[in-house]
Amino acid sequence: MVLRMSTMLLKTLREEPVEAEVPSHRLLLRAGYIRRAAPGGYTWLPLGKLVLDQVTRIIREEMSAIGGQEVGFPSLLTREAYDLSGRWTEYGDGIFTLKDRRGADHLLAPTHEEMFTLLVQDMTSSYRDFPLILFQVQTKFRDEARPRAGLLRGREFLMKDAYSFDLSEEGLIEAYGKHRAAYQRIFERLGLEHTIVSAMSGAMGGSASEEFLAAAEVGEDTFVGCTGCDYAANTEAVVTPVPPADDREHGPLTVHDTPDTPTIASLVDLANARAFDGRTDWTAADTLKNVVVTVHHPGKEDELLVIGVPGDREVDLKRLDAVLSPSTATMFDDFASRPDLVRGYIGPQGIKVRYLADPRIAPGTAWLTGANEPGRHATSVVAGRDFTPDGAIEAAEVRAGDPCPECGTGELTMRRGIEIAHIFQLGRRYTDVFKVDVLGADGKPVRPTMGSYGIGVSRAVASIVEQHHDDRGIVWPDEVAPADVHVVGAGKEGQIEAALTLAAELAGAGLRVLVDDRRNVSAGVKFTDAELIGIPRCVVVGRRLSDGYAELRNRRTGERRDLPLAEVTGELVTAAPSRPSR
Amino acid sequence: MVLRMSTMLLKTLREEPVEAEVPSHRLLLRAGYIRRAAPGGYTWLPLGKLVLDQVTRIIREEMSAIGGQEVGFPSLLTREAYDLSGRWTEYGDGIFTLKDRRGADHLLAPTHEEMFTLLVQDMTSSYRDFPLILFQVQTKFRDEARPRAGLLRGREFLMKDAYSFDLSEEGLIEAYGKHRAAYQRIFERLGLEHTIVSAMSGAMGGSASEEFLAAAEVGEDTFVGCTGCDYAANTEAVVTPVPPADDREHGPLTVHDTPDTPTIASLVDLANARAFDGRTDWTAADTLKNVVVTVHHPGKEDELLVIGVPGDREVDLKRLDAVLSPSTATMFDDFASRPDLVRGYIGPQGIKVRYLADPRIAPGTAWLTGANEPGRHATSVVAGRDFTPDGAIEAAEVRAGDPCPECGTGELTMRRGIEIAHIFQLGRRYTDVFKVDVLGADGKPVRPTMGSYGIGVSRAVASIVEQHHDDRGIVWPDEVAPADVHVVGAGKEGQIEAALTLAAELAGAGLRVLVDDRRNVSAGVKFTDAELIGIPRCVVVGRRLSDGYAELRNRRTGERRDLPLAEVTGELVTAAPSRPSR
């Protein structure tokens, strides 16, 4: 394959595109890989399409290697199956819905659990038909509130979604393990440094759901590690260790006048200045902050909820949403309508709204908190004595230095990453919805159990750029580069012709070649473009052509050396990555 | 590649699926290639996805060979560009539209002329950037009123759309010619017998738009050939030769009482029985039928139109729609609201509604037609004397035996076909809309001219089946078959093991192999399934395994012969199609 820059639809940009916030977005625009076509919708230009195809090929190969069978579902589906599963309502504004010319409700499917389940119900009847791993590589649509960062969070994107069907827990665990290993191989081939983190706390257990996060400063996900063990989890999955019960004796609840204390800091200052309860060592961690949120339940009425957290921590809305999912929460601010909730002075004692507390608000602990009267707070408000929460909630922010929930001795560290994949032991949620049963080996019906496994394909492309670039441009890993070699004909008499001859020779040897044969562009611009575009290996046919030499450049290391033209092909064929199939 | 039927998601159906009307739909369902997932939306099962990938690969190869560059646009677009081009309104109910969470109008693009034009405007600036051929292989959505016939007319389907951009008419004609030749190669490789027909009459000229029709009884398109020359056109494009002017003297217009003549036949009978104007040789061709239709102009008010055709012909609504496009027409039936239009007795003389006549209603011709009074008709109603049409219209049905508009001596023949491709010299319609100008070689701005070229990819799959099947199942052409060889392990002791060994050997020699290694299925069922699935070559490892022999079966010819097992691979490698890349 020879791609000629003189005829390609390729224009590099000198200026930084104003709309681009993150390096991958900026570089993919500047180097001519993508263009914006709609809010959160991007066009793959010829170079970009080649990269996308390479990434897709690698994913397909590894999915086939674990026995995955590729299928292709429509994107546009009728509402019924998603009504039965409840997801039509759960997704709410997050999916695109439309009516056809007859007024029938449709959706652009965000994922296809329902349809795969119905397909397996249709196509199987006995235990002999299992296990099954099915996948598709498909355009997905989500009505993101804030599409951003180019390919990292779009409204239309390419995804590989896979589903496993097994008849036993052991089977599901094996399928899950196969996907986990396949994903590790995929991301290794894509050159993506990644961490696998627990994605879920709570009842389903830590291994039932994991995310693959590509380390990147621009990542939207914060994940934790531990200084003492190999624990890794996204912040939504971090479980706060419950402190031992506090069995000290506390004095009686005492109400204090606390005018002009709109913030925790001002309250702590006042408490120390006036030596509440004889103490002058009050800190924010001694206070109890009560945050009012409105919980939106899909398809049901909103509900008020008060969340209690230690005053030195904020409520993390992402963690809160994860706990409440599929419901969502927003901050409540219509205090005029609720005189019982005294803004800035709310306390959990005698509260008439559902009240959930951080696990640190353990029975017997005493707090400085609001007195439910304007300008007054109370001390020695004791959990289990003066108030009893309706339950515990994991909604407080996680911070570096927090104790590790796994080993208990290490401290948490914080990193940022991009979610590039998610694997999940779904169990029988969907086979229960559609009552899928097949004949078991013992003659009795058995209900299949499922796993779901997704990779963000277009997002992976952007993640690769986040991890593989420098200040001059992109530095593609070998296997995903749009070409193996970039041949630059510097421009003087005969150099472009020689570059084209070399390109043909390299293509004949099985390499994919991009050749810069533009006649009206200076050598300097060509070198700058080559670094921006980021093909791993570059051959310059330039001033030493007259001696029969070309210059080899390694984009990653910056190494340059001259080589006789006749040896270039042999050298590069040896250096090129071996590809199982192309 | 070895596909094992024991583990594949594959279920053949014995019974004819009730929902399937046409052979391709029936066979693709029965043989396990597709399943219905939504109205007009189909899931590609593993075998079907393999066929689709083969077809797509062939199209990509031939598009690359003419210098086409592949890109990928989003499907979900905002309304603006389609408003500017007028297509948002023109498509009307034919496209799916939706609002996002902010209420902004979006569409699922049916084709991408607007977006390709805008992309070229963004990415080019000078004559040096031309010519360009860009294409994509993309899922398309259309809100078909009547999705039918499986993959032949769906609401979600795969399409290859290409666009050429040139700076001169000669360039456009060359790009058009390249696509025409590439499409001929593509359909030859797909095994699709096809005819290229003129798709457009009128101002743009016959060669500016052509359709590729795959001959098939179930085709929705009727196209004509000629017994005397190589003329071929779809019926919408057939131009009725205008008869020479009739300069005979006609008698005066005479009104006759014609009670109980609701049909042309009853009118002709009465005219002959009463010897109107002294004649007893009246035929339907002597009468003038006037049909009232409501024309729906996109975005404007409806309009009434009366169409005059010789009484021996019907109005062909498809031809009418083609002439009126982007407007559409429906039969008018609210005669109560228009007393001036006397149902069954309408004549063109003195009519107050826009009146367009078939070209055969030439100046000087005399007709038996309605007298615009209940129960009365008139004779000797002469065009140009008693009435003057507001214009001519090509809306009458085309019939076998009609004179050829090309050579004038031959007669038209009629065939049915499936539209599998359409190539079209668009000109500057879209570059005018978006005011795309680039710097010409002479330093002056020049506006690119475009061609658009589409292939229905999923429809091609169905068309192949329409042309390649028998009463036992599908018979895939070599290059699109989901596998090169189908190895059947008949089932007795050792036969399945031997089949698997042979399959591995064949795969090692580069062939794609489907192996029937099911243990709980009889040999008879396996043979029936193999014929239904339709892989071109089958190897049965059966009763002669003990002698070291297998049986080769040719699906197309039915030929069977025994061959030593050791010679099977060599034989099949020789027979397999050569593929430029896989």
Which of B358, B392, B426 lies at the terminal end of a domain, its last residue?
Answer: B392
pLDDT at A113 over 50: yes
Helix pair B565-575, B495-508: axis angle to 10 deg: 40
Q: Taking residues B70-79, what's their average pLDDT? A: 96
User: Which of B392, B426, B443 marks a domain boundary?
Assistant: B392
Indicate the residue type of A338: R
Give which of B244, B243, B253 is closest to B382, Cα–Cα.
B253
- pLDDT, residue A265, reads 92
Q: Is residue B57 part of a domain?
A: yes
pLDDT tens digits, residue range B474-508?
A: 999 999 999 999 999 998 879 999 999 999 999 99
Distance CA A384, CA A366 (A): 10
Taking the mean position of all CA atoms in its chain, how far away is CA B31? 25
Least confident of B121-135, B267-281, B470-484, B565-579: B565-579
Residue B578, pLDDT score: 54
Chain B contact for A510 (CB, 8 A cutoff): no
In a domain, A453, yes or no: yes
Please give the pLDDT value at position A508: 95
* DSSP letter, residue B14: S
Average pLDDT over residues B41-69: 97
User: Residue B204: helix, strand or coil by DSSP?
Assistant: helix
- Report residue B349 as tokens: 């003389």
Question: B87: pLDDT confidence band, cut at 50, 70 and 90?
Answer: confident
Assess if residue A558 is contained within a domain: yes
Per-residue pLDDT, B91: 82
Over range A519-533, report the average pLDDT.
95
Mutation site, A75, A137, A579, interface B, largest B CB count within 10 A: A75
Q: What pLDDT is stored for residue B204 in this prediction?
A: 40
Q: Is A417 exposed, middle or buried (0-12, 13-18, 19+ CB in 10 A)?
A: buried
Q: What is the largest CA-CA distance in chain B?
A: 95
B40: left (phi over 0), alpha (psi -120 to 50) or beta: left
What 3-state DSSP class applies to A195? strand
Beta strands in A363-512 (DSSP E): 366-373, 376-382, 391-392, 412-427, 438-439, 445-446, 449-456, 469-470, 473-474, 485-489
φ, ψ dihedrals at B4, nearest 5°: -100, 120
Write the pLDDT tens digit of every residue in B193-220.
999 988 864 434 445 889 999 999 898 8
Closest CA to A234 of A253, A251, A254, A214: A214
Cis preceding-peptide flag for B131 (omega within 30 of 0): yes
Give the dihedral of Cα atoms A422, A427, A431, A432; nearest 10 deg.
-130
B363: burial class by Cβ within 10 Å (0-12, 13-18, 19+)?
middle
Report the alpha-carbon distance of residue A127 to residue A130 in Å, rounded: 6
Residue B24 C-alpha, separation from nearest chain A C-alpha, in angstroms? 18
Nearest Cα of chain A lies from the Cα of B86 at a distance, in angstroms, of 18
The reported pLDDT for the residue numbered A219 is 87
pLDDT tier at A582, thresholds 50, 70, 90? very low
Structure tokens at A412: 């948490």
**Residue owning tokens 């109107």:** B276
B-interface mutation test, from A33, A71, A519, most B Cβ less than 10 A away:
A71
Any CB–CB contact under 8 A between A438 and chain B? no
Judged by average pLDDT, the poorest of A47-61, A257-271, A472-486, B128-142 is A257-271
**A138 → chain B, closest CA residue:** B139
Q: What is the spatial distance between Cα B243 and Cα B403, in angstroms, rounded to a whole number?
A: 11
From the list B38, B44, B76, which residue is nearest A72 (CB)? B44
Average pLDDT for A444-453: 96
Mean pLDDT of the B273-295 span? 93
Higher pLDDT, B145 or B393: B393
B260 and B221: one domain? no
Residues of B in contact with A106 (CB under 8 A): 38, 96
How far is C-alpha B554 from the chain's CA centre?
32
Q: How far apart are the first and last CA of chain A?
A: 11
Neighbours of A255 (CB within 10 A): 14
With an 8 Å Cβ cutoff, is A413 touching chain B?
no
What is the spatial distance between Cα A153 and Cα B141, in angstroms, rounded to a whole number? 24
For residue A204, the model assigns a pLDDT of: 40
Looking at the fold, whether B27 and B118 belong to one and the same domain comes out as: yes
B363 pLDDT exceeds 60? Answer: yes
Q: Round to whole Å and give the CA distance between B126 and B129.
A: 6
CA nearest to B362, candidates B396, B344, B385: B385
3-state helix/strand/coil string of B395-452: CECCCCCCECCCCCCCEEEEEEEEEEEEEEEEECHHHHHCCCCEECCCCCEECCEEEE
Question: Helix, strand or coil for residue B92?
Answer: helix
CA distance A98 to A78: 10
At residue A202, the pLDDT reads 42
- pLDDT confidence band for A556 (50 / 70 / 90): very high
CB contact under 8 A, B74 and A115: no
Q: Say whether B156 and A119 touch across the interface (CB within 8 A).
A: no
Quickly list DSSP for B479-531.
GGSS-SEEEEE-SSTTHHHHHHHHHHHHHHTT--EEEE--SSS-HHHHHHHHH
pLDDT, tens digit, 9 for 90 and up, residues A35-91: 999 999 999 999 999 999 999 999 999 999 999 999 999 999 999 999 998 888 888
Question: Is a pLDDT exceeding 90 seen at residue A93?
Answer: no
For position B13, what pLDDT does the model report?
94
Does residue B126 have a pLDDT over 70?
A: yes
In DSSP notation, A163-187 reads EEEESSHHHHHHHHHHHHHHHHHHH
Q: Are residues B163 and B215 in the same domain?
A: yes
Q: Give burial (CB, 10 Å; 0-12/13-18/19+) of B581.
A: exposed
Residue B575 to residue B578: CA distance in whole angstroms:
9
Q: Is residue A282 part of a domain?
A: yes
Residue B84 lies in a domain: no
Residues of B whose CB is below 8 A from A134: 9
Query: Considering only alpha carbons, which residue of chain A is nearest residue B114?
Result: A37
Q: Interhelix angle for B46-65 vs B457-467, to 10°?
A: 110
pLDDT digits 0-9 by tens, A354-364: 999 999 999 89
Q: What ipTM was reported for this prediction? A: 0.86
Of A290-294, B220-224, B253-257, the range with the lowest mean pLDDT is: B220-224
Contact: A76, B128; criterion CB under 8 Å = no
In this predicted structure, the answer to whether residue A256 has a pLDDT above a threshold of 80 is yes
Looking at chain B, the whole-number percentage of residues with pLDDT higher than 90 is 75
**Do the domain assignments include residue B319?**
yes
Beta carbons of A155 and B9 less than 8 Å apart: no
Provide the pLDDT for residue A145.
84
Q: Mean pLDDT across the stretch A450-479?
A: 96
Phi then psi dihedrals of residue A163, to 5 deg:
-140, 135
Instruction: Tell me, yes or no, whether B44 and B172 share the same domain.
Output: yes
Rounded-to-integer distance, Cα B535 and Cα B528, Å = 12
- Average pLDDT over chain A reads 92
Consecutive H or E run containing B306 = strand B303-310
The answer on A268 and A370 residing in a single domain is: yes
Mutate to test the interface with B, among A14, A73, A142 (most CBs of B within 10 A): A73
Indicate the pLDDT class of residue B50, thresholds 50, 70 and 90. Answer: very high
Domain span at residue B363 reads: 254-392
CA-based nearest residue in chain B for residue A78: B38
Q: Choose the closest CB to B520 out of A44, A96, A128.
A: A128
Using an 8 Å CB-CB cutoff, list chain A residues near B98. Answer: 96-98
Residue A580: pLDDT band by 50, 70, 90 thresholds?
very low
- Regarding whether A192 and A63 lie in a shared domain, the answer is yes
**Which residue is listed with tokens 């180019």?**
A150
Task: Give how far Cα B164 sits from Cα of A44, B63, B206, B365, B543, Å.
Answer: 18, 12, 19, 47, 58
The answer to whether the CB atoms of A11 and B123 lie below 8 A apart is yes
**Nearest Cα residue to A160 out of A177, A142, A175, A140:** A140
Nearest-angstrom CA–CA distance, A158 and A160: 7
Mean pLDDT calculated for residue range A238-251: 83
The CATH number that applies at residue B368 is: 3.90.960.10
Question: Taking residues B255-279, what's their average pLDDT?
Answer: 91
Banded model confidence at residue B406, pLDDT cuts 50, 70, 90: confident
Q: Which of residues 517-536 of B touch A (CB under 8 A)?
A: 520
Q: What is the pLDDT of residue B389?
A: 94
B128 contact A CB<8A = yes
Window A:211-270, CB contacts with B under 8 Å: none
Q: Which residue of chain B comes nearest to A135, CA vs CA?
A: B46
* Confidence label for B242 from pLDDT (cuts 50, 70 and 90): confident
Interface of B with A in 184-213 (CB under 8 A): none
Give the least confident one: A239-243, B11-15, B453-457: A239-243
Residues of chain A contacting residue B96, judged by C-beta atoms under 8 Å apart? 76, 98, 100, 106
Are B323 and B376 in a shared domain?
Answer: yes
Q: What is the mean pLDDT of residues A331-338?
A: 90
* Structural domains counted in chain B: 3
Angle between helices A565-575 and A495-508 (to 10 degrees): 40
Residue A278 reports pLDDT greater than 70: yes
Q: Which 3 state secondary structure label does DSSP give A515?
A: strand
**With contacts defined as CB-CB under 8 Å, which chain A residues touch B39?**
78, 100, 104
* Residue B541 CA neighbour count, 13 Å, CB half: 25
Q: What is the pLDDT of residues B289-327, one digit of tens each?
A: 999 999 998 778 999 999 999 999 999 988 898 888 878
> Which residues, numbered 11 to 40 in chain A, qualify as contacts with chain B under a Cβ-Cβ cut-off of 8 Å?
11, 32, 35, 37-39
B134 touches chain A (CB under 8 A): yes
Q: DSSP character for A242?
A: P
A52 contacts chain B (CB < 8 A): yes
Alpha helices for A311-417 (secondary structure H): 317-324
- Does A558 score more than 60 pLDDT? yes
Q: What is the pLDDT of residue A581?
A: 39
Is-contact A234 A221, C-beta < 8 A?
A: yes
pLDDT in the model for residue B249:
86
Q: Which chain B residues touch A65 with a CB distance below 8 Å?
A: none
How many beta carbons lie within 10 A of that of residue B250, not counting itself? 17
Contacts of A32 in chain B (CB under 8 A): 123
B426 occurs within a structural domain: yes
Does B156 sit within 8 Å of A9, measured CB to CB? no
* CA atoms of A526 and A532, how far apart (whole Å): 10
Does residue A205 sit in the same domain as residue A130?
yes
A176 phi, psi to nearest 5 deg: -60, -45
Strands B513-516 vs B2-4: parallel, antiparallel or unpaired: parallel
- Written as one string, the DSSP assignment of A65-103 is HTT-EE-B--SEEESHHHHHTTHHHHHGGGS-EEE-TT-
Q: In chain B, which residue's Cα lies nearest the Cα of A61?
A: B1
Q: Using the beta-carbon criterion (under 8 Å), do A49 and B70 form an inter-chain contact? A: yes
Query: Are A11 and B46 a contacting pair at CB < 8 A?
Result: no
Q: What is the CATH number of the domain that holds A201?
A: 3.30.930.10
| Two tokens, residue B212 | 């590729």
Scanning every residue of chain B, which has its alpha carbon at the shortest distance from the alpha carbon of A11? B123
Q: Which of B37, B75, B93 minimises the CB distance to A74?
A: B37
My answer on whether A342 and A426 are in the same domain is no
- For strand A412-427 and strand A221-226, is the pairing parallel, antiparallel, or unpaired? antiparallel
Question: Is residue A70 located within the same domain as residue A185?
Answer: yes
Confidence of residue A19 (pLDDT cuts 50, 70, 90): confident
Looking at residues B358-374, what average pLDDT do you find?
93
Looking at CA atoms only, how far is residue A74 from chain B in angstroms?
A: 6
Give the amino acid at A419. E
A7, part of any domain = no
Closest to A375 measured CA to CA, from A454, A451, A270: A270
CB A498 within 8 A of CB A541: yes
- Res A405: pLDDT: 87
Task: Calculate how close chain A gets to B538, using CA atoms only, in Å.
Answer: 22
Q: Do both B518 and B421 map to the same domain?
A: no
CATH code (residue B500):
3.40.50.800
Least confident of A67-81, A218-232, A534-548: A218-232
What residues have CB less than 8 Å from A277, skipping those under 6 apart?
A251, A254, A379, A380
For a pLDDT cut of 70, what percent of chain B falls above it?
98
Q: Verify that A304 and A227 share a domain, yes or no.
A: no
